[in-house]
């Protein structure tokens, strides 16, 4: 009898152990098959020259520098010269000639990356600067489950109210802060809470920062200066004055925000299943000059189509997936983000969906990828004083539709156009190739994706 009891007990123990093992294996398989999380951070008004990893010596950006060291840094990423055109382009994956209708507006009939990922089971969140028109329901229509935003149309939020004591809209409810709260801190705390809630399911976080856009104010890390700083609504008398010297404060806090998001991913144990992308929406604001390690002083040229108006930083980090220390010199622009996010999420693009971009995931993973010979820009912000302009360029040469030719390496501010008679045969051939692009870029034409080339691994400008 005793032996029978022992035998029965052993059988029960074995069964329990097997059940536990099977449950653990099931959990592991489920975890392994979980779609990757994606965080896209879009900084406001910072060109490539503001980041230490790109050679800047003017600002403190240790977390972004570390992110580049542990991931991949793209040296030739290009945005639109102003934020609204860039925001429409990055969200929809289309050149502005296709769908940019007016300043500060995104047509809600346009499919964007949030729609695509949401259809694949992603929880979606946006926090930061909206500036795409609509009302308090528009972020939901744009595919976001949750939001905390500044600069939604039809609210009382003004130019100054994004930093100290901001006016924000959280999921349809206006919130006016009055006790020294700092907008950028509120956005990051909101994102961290969202990640905490959604850590066991795939999520998309889109963080279009309010930093580092003028007016330049001190951050809370500037202690007493921040505490004593009095911000009043635009147009009212009194208050403290914005100053370009506080741009350094804003850059340091921007960098800190990025680090806090990365730290939270590690705290939650999901860094190895989360891709983080960082870029800037256009060049640095006019009036900000940045020193570089090579001795150059680079003036901010936001709004203008020269190299310092459109050349943006772009860094990708994915622990254990992206090989650390990579530098990629391929041409990249904002149309590439939607295809990239879609491929990471293993999401099929909608039938008949048109994108002018290509997924950057193969480049990040060091595999064969499509390599562009040129980038096309249609720039018509419909915002004074900036005029419509169309151009084709690579990392060295640029051709405007009006005929001007520039070598952007030797002449980044485009002060000296080059006559065709002064070009050699190879340069003439390249410019002829550029010239053939313009007639193809019209609204009625759908551009067919070319065959993939295999490559082996290797002011008051608030509403600007």
HSE (CB half, 13 Å, CA atoms) of 374? 18
Domain boundaries, the chain: 34-370
Give pLDDT, residue 7.
Answer: 52
Listed residue (41, 131, 50) closest to 383, CA to CA: 131
**Overall pTM > 0.75:** yes
The DSSP 8-state label assigned to residue 164 in this structure reads: B
pLDDT in tens, 224-247: 999 999 988 777 778 888 999 999
pLDDT in tens, 283-295: 999 999 999 999 9
Tell me which architecture the domain covering 34-370 has in CATH. Answer: 3-Layer(aba) Sandwich (3.40)
Backbone angles phi, psi at 340, to 5 degrees: -65, -50
User: Which residue stretches of the chain have pLDDT < 50?
Assistant: 1-2, 5-6, 8-32, 445-463
Structure tokens at 393: 């360029």
CA distance 362 to 30: 25
CA distance 449 to 439: 16
Contact of 107 with 185, CB cutoff 8 Å: no
């Amino acid at each position: 009898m005793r032996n029978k009891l022992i035998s029965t007990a052993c059988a029960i123990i074995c069964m329990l152990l097997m059940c536990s093992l099977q449950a653990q294996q099931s959990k592991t398989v489920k975890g392994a098959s979980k779609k990757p999380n994606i965080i896209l951070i879009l900084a406001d008004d910072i060109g490539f020259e503001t980041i230490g990893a790109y050679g800047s010596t003017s600002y403190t950006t240790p977390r972004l520098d570390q992110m580049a060291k542990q991931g991949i840094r793209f040296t030739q990423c290009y945005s639109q010269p102003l934020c609204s055109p860039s925001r429409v382009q990055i969200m929809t994956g289309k050149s502005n000639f296709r769908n940019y209708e007016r300043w500060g507006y995104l047509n809600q009939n346009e499919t964007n990356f949030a729609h695509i990922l949401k259809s694949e089971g992603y929880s979606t969140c946006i926090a930061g600067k909206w500036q795409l028109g609509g009302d308090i329901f528009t972020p939901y229509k744009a595919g976001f489950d949750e939001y905390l935003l500044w600069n939604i149309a039809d609210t009382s939020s003004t130019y100054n109210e994004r930093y100290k004591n901001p006016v924000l809209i959280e999921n349809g409810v206006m919130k006016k802060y009055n006790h020294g709260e700092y907008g950028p801190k509120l956005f990051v705390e909101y994102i961290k809470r969202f990640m905490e809630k959604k850590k066991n399911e795939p999520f998309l976080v889109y963080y279009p920062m309010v930093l580092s856009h003028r007016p330049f104010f001190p951050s809370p890390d500037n202690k007493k200066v921040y505490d004593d700083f009095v911000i009043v609504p635009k147009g009212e008398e009194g208050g403290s004055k914005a100053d370009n010297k506080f741009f350094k404060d804003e850059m340091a806090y921007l960098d800190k925000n990025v680090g806090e998001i990365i730290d939270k991913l590690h705290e939650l144990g999901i860094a190895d299943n989360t891709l983080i992308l960082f870029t800037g929406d256009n060049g640095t604001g006019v009036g900000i000059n940045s020193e570089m390690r090579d001795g150059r002083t680079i003036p901010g040229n936001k709004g203008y189509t020269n190299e310092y108006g459109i050349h943006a930083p772009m860094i990708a980090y994915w622990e254990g997936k992206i090989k650390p220390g990579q530098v990629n010199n391929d041409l990249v622009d904002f149309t590439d983000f939607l295809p990239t996010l879609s491929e990471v999420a293993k999401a099929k693009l909608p039938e008949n969906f048109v994108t002018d971009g290509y997924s950057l995931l193969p480049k990040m993973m060091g595999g064969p990828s499509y390599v562009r010979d040129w980038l096309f820009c249609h720039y018509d912000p419909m915002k004074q004083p900036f005029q419509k302009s169309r151009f084709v360029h690579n990392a060295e040469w640029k051709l405007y539709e009006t005929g001007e030719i520039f070598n952007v390496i030797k002449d980044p501010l485009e002060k000296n156009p080059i006559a065709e008679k002064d070009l050699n045969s190879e340069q003439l051939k390249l410019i002829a190739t550029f010239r053939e692009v313009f007639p193809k870029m019209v609204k009625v034409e759908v551009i067919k994706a070319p065959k993939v080339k295999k490559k082996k691994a290797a002011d008051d400008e608030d509403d600007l």
